[in-house]
Amino acid sequence: MPPETKTPEERLAQAGLVLPPPPVPLGAYEPWVISGSLLMTSGQFSWVDGKLAYLGRIGGEVPAAQAYDACRIAALNAIAQLKSAVGSLSRINRILRVEGTMQVAPGFRDHPVALNGASDLINMVFAEKGRHSRMIYTNPEMPLNAPVLIVLMAEIAV
């Protein structure tokens, strides 16, 4: 079956990926909100089995290859939030934007390569519907000493 005819869930399974349970919020906010046809996730960390996969600054304690992986894991958690919001990922008409916030060491300049961990996963899961705009932010300090935080914005079928 060509990739464009598979569902996002089928693409995840084909890649050997299982969506984790959607992470619970760390504060007084919602993990996602829907307004009209816009679905936006709150920031998602690189949680694996209830623990952060990586800690520290990218380009410091977290090498660039691990930063790519941290972004990929955080995007997987964000996709889990999308599924929690709409039930079936086939209800996603388009991923509109990926925002990545990174805690980086001085001199680190490969932000786009690290954020490709999220973009590559989203493009694989959603195929053409995954093609998105994106923005990178940096923070001198991140909650929980996390290296990355990923936010997704999607258009959904209503």
- What gap in Å lies between CA 46 and CA 76, rounded to an integer? 8
pLDDT, position 4: 67
In sequence order, which residues have a C-beta less than 8 Å from that of residue 150 and are 6 or more positions away?
Answer: 41, 43, 44, 71, 74, 75, 77, 78, 98, 99, 100, 118
pTM score, whole prediction: 0.96
pLDDT, position 104: 97
Q: What does the pLDDT look like over 98-145, one tens digit per residue?
A: 999 999 999 999 999 999 999 999 999 999 999 999 999 999 999 999
pLDDT, position 27: 96
**Options 3.40.50.300, 3.30.360.10, 3.30.1330.40, 3.40.50.1220; CATH of 1-10+52-85+103-158:** 3.30.1330.40
- Domain limits of the chain? 1-10+52-85+103-158
Q: What does the pLDDT look like over 143-158, one tens digit per residue?
A: 999 999 999 999 999 8
Contact 98, 134 (CB under 8 A): yes
